[in-house]
Structure 1
Amino acid sequence: MQPKARPMMITFPERLKPARTDPVSLPQEPDLAELARMILILRRQRADYFGTALFSDPSWDILLDLRAHHGGNRTVASLFVADCAPITTGLRHLRHLHARGLVDRWRDPQDGRRRLAGLSEDGLALMDGFLLKAAALCTNQVQ
């Protein structure tokens, strides 16, 4: 019988921990856009250790990028600037996310040549749920 793996404890940055005004109040939600940005940074820094060929997850990178910039207009082209995958791969993943109802796409009303993208309501709810769970795990609030 193999011993159970113990969960890895991660120290969560102070700036993302829920703020408390007094010991009785409920904690506020962490900054989920900032957490998504931090995960993106870590994913890109991972290449410094393992190289770029070993890991590739364009769909997840797109979802993280859109959550990190939620509320702003993201051009489709800007989603693939820092990704190591080819643009055609990124577009294929974006179409798949759109077909699954996680991402909305539309023409830029200011410039009809550009396409914009953002998380759908369902996509935002799923990303926020995941990021809240990640924040809770990192602050040892979930067992």
Structure 2
Amino acid sequence: MARLAIQVSRLLAERAGPELVSTPGWDMLVDLYVGDPTTPMSLTGLSGAASTPSRTSLSVIARLADHGMLIRTPDPNDGRRVLVHLSDKAIALLDSCFDALLLMML
């Protein structure tokens, strides 16, 4: 279901234009969720999921972390990098959203 949500978002952006339907926070959350939600991703990798300028992506990531949706940790292999992963709160929220979506489709 999460993969379908990504495809719908991309299709809508393609047809309506990304400036009308851009939701970088959603794109980031779903991108992390579709992979292993507990596996950290670099800020650069996560920024790529949103297809927004770096400054915008970093601002969105900071907002998501401030709201308890993302957890930022230093990269144990490279002290210059920061890794992010979904919090339990974000996983529960996305689980409930996709469960509700499935019920709507029945």
Same fold (TM over 0.5): yes
TM-score (norm 1): 0.67
Identity %: 31
RMSD between aligned residues: 1.4
How far apart are the structure 2 equivalents of 1:91 and 1:108?
Answer: 17
Residue in structure 2 matched with residue 113 of structure 1 by the alignment: 80
Aligned length: 105
SS of the residue 1:72 aligns to: coil
More helix by share: 2
Amino acid at match of 2:63: H
Q: Unaligned regions of 5+ residues in structure 1, if any?
A: 1-34
Match of 1:78 among 37, 45, 56: 45
Which structure 1 residue ranges, 4+ long, deviate > 6 Å from structure 2? none
More strand by share: 2
Please state how far the C-alpha of 1:135 moved relative to its aligned partner.
Answer: 1.4
Is 1:134 matched up with 2:101? yes
Is the 1:52–1:84 Cα contact (8 Å) retained in structure 2? no
Q: 1:97 to 1:82 in 2, by over 3 A?
A: closer
Residue in structure 1 matched with residue 15 of structure 2 by the alignment: 49
Q: Unaligned regions of 5+ residues in structure 2, if any?
A: none
